[in-house]
A = this chain, B = another copy of it.
């Protein structure tokens, strides 16, 4: 019953949404109605504390363990290696803190274009002189220089953690996660990857990778905000980051966000079920926008031409008085796109990624990022508007 009712409701409200064009799906995505339907029973009748031993508790405990099984199966791992958290940032913090505290890492190799959830965290431990901090060289497009990474690993004198994101959230550049895993294996280093932009968008088979930690966030693939996972390879043993009760097999204390966990698993299930269809559709949309931009906007170029996220198109517009107002003009025309990561836009300090890649002097960079809900008609409208604003 709940499903039909919510379905109707969503159909009604979509009338209001249609006026806006949401091209910022790398920041967050609308909740899939099928996900909401899966969550609602756990917001209504199945409300027990999963740690309670009676019927109400067992129901929600079961929901969590089923979610864990589903997620672990999708990611090619075992339920014992998946821990639910409050989001990608908490997962990243947990992996990095545990690597230092529990695994004895004294050296972290990361990159200057990591998301702040990683970058600020490794800088925090680096500034506290708890660990040595190195950044790998990057190409102009943000691609990791694997030779430099190998040299740094070779030269490292202490236990090392490599923390490199699977895909950059601003320019979209992808990491060869298998290659980095092999390098870490060769030099006996731990490997953490912030997979917030790839889990739910790519099939990831953890059994085929040499990796110790990955992080993901539900709201990046039409799941709920406030939910995430941390994968911890069963070969390592760490202590909880948030201490207290015995939840998550003593690995993450605090009453579980049951509906969030159920929603995370459902969103991942849907994403992988429809992966071929959705990814083909979105790739086509991105290519269409790319080609329309080249055709219609003089002097336009792209942050990254290589192997990038199919969801993200990072566009460089020539810097001038008019384009300086571009994001503002898009906004007042109900077009949502972003200048950098949402998480840093509150700070209003500009994009650390674009600075690191030397893009800020000549270009105004706008990230357009797509989902299954976007259309070519929306691209056409955005192109028309861009012609006016650039």
Contact = CB atoms under 8 A, between A and B. Distances in A.
Interface of A: 1-2, 5-6, 8-10, 12-14, 16-17, 20, 22, 24, 27-31, 36, 40-41, 43-45, 47-49, 51-57, 86-90, 92-93, 115-118, 120-121, 124, 217, 219, 224-227, 242-247, 250, 253-260, 327, 330-331, 334-338, 341-347
A364 to B, nearest CB: 14
A257 B9 contact: no
Contact of A124 (B1, B243, B327, B331): B243
Given A224-B43, A225-B258, A52 B345 contact: yes
B51 A31 contact: no
B331 A93 contact: no
Contacts of A12: 1
A343 B93 CA distance: 23
A253 B87 CA distance: 10
A8 B115 CA distance: 43
A243 to B, nearest CB: 4
A248 to B, nearest CB: 10
Contacts of A217: 255
A121 B244 CA distance: 6
Nearest to A245: B343
A12 B3 CA distance: 13
Q: By CB atoms of chain B within 10 A, which of A17, A53, A88, A258 has the most?
A: A53
A253 B48 CA distance: 29
Given A254-B90, A336-B56, A244 B31 contact: no
Query: How many copies of the shown chain assemble into the complex?
Result: 2
A347 to B, nearest CB: 4
B331 A54 contact: yes
A13 B36 CA distance: 17
A56 B246 CA distance: 38
B5 A246 contact: no
A255 B28 contact: yes
Contact of A246 (B45, B244, B253, B343): B343
Q: By CB atoms of chain B within 10 A, which of A31, A254, A345 has the most?
A: A254
A53 B343 contact: no
A44 B31 contact: yes
A27 B5 CA distance: 30
Contact of A52 (B6, B55, B253, B336): B336
Contacts of A29: 47
B1 A28 contact: no
Contacts of A336: 48, 52, 54-57
B57 A10 contact: no
A54 B342 CA distance: 10
Contacts of A343: 51, 244-247, 253, 255
Given A117-B243, A120-B243, A327 B255 contact: no
A57 B260 CA distance: 21
Q: By CB atoms of chain B within 10 A, which of A13, A243, A245 has the most?
A: A243
Q: By CB atoms of chain B within 10 A, which of A226, A246, A341 has the most?
A: A226
A176 to B, nearest CB: 25
